[in-house]
């Protein structure tokens, strides 16, 4: 699946099909035409808190199939015009979760770099917050 209506696979869709607009509270949102875009990614689900999501957030963790991870990163970096990304990674699986209302801005980890599937070690800051979230900061940049 590449794209059908407002549903798309970020690992397979052209970034030229997307429109990015500034949204609520400074967040940037992706659109296809005039409709909010809905991403569908393929992978192996390693953990899910969608049904029993708890009081504050729901989450799902997936391990991308094959080269889907690299393609996903390139697509996201291109549509949002970013060279760095922040993700919650554990054993190469990426966690998607809702953000609690109490958190106003995304976390930043300026001194770390890793690609989850590369053989390089992460240069992570050893803080309690970073260890508890399992968050890694990575900056693999490709040139088109």
Residue 51 lies in a domain: yes
The domain containing residue 121 runs over which residues?
3-138
- Partners of 24 in the β-ladder: none
Position 126 scores a pLDDT of: 54
| Full-model pTM | 0.62
Say yes or no to pLDDT of 133 above 70. no
Q: Is residue 143 part of a domain?
A: no
- Would 110 be classed as within a structural domain? yes
Number of domains the chain is built from: 1
* pLDDT confidence of residue 51: 77
Phi-psi domain of 142 (left: phi exceeds 0; alpha: psi -120 through 50; beta: other): beta
- Answer whether residue 74 is part of any domain: yes
Is the per-residue pLDDT at 56 higher than 80? no
In a domain, 144, yes or no: no
User: Is 65 inside a domain boundary?
Assistant: yes
Whether 142 shows a pLDDT value over 60: the answer reads no
Q: Residues 96, 81, 3, 87: what is their CA dihedral angle, to the nearest 10 degrees? A: -10
């Amino acid at each position: 699946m590449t794209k059908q209506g407002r549903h798309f696979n970020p690992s397979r869709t052209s970034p030229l099909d997307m429109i990015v607009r500034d949204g609520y509270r400074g967040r940037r949102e992706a659109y296809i035409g005039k409709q909010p875009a809905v991403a569908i990614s393929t992978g192996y689900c390693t953990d899910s808190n969608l049904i029993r999501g708890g009081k504050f957030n729901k989450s799902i963790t997936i391990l991308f199939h094959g080269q889907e991870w690299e393609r996903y990163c390139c697509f996201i970096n291109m549509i949002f015009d970013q060279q760095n990304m922040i993700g919650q990674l554990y054993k190469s699986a990426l966690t998607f979760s809702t953000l609690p209302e109490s958190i106003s801005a995304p976390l930043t980890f300026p001194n770390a770099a890793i690609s989850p599937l590369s053989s390089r070690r992460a240069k992570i800051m050893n803080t309690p917050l970073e260890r508890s979230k399992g968050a890694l900061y990575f900056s693999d940049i490709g040139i088109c």
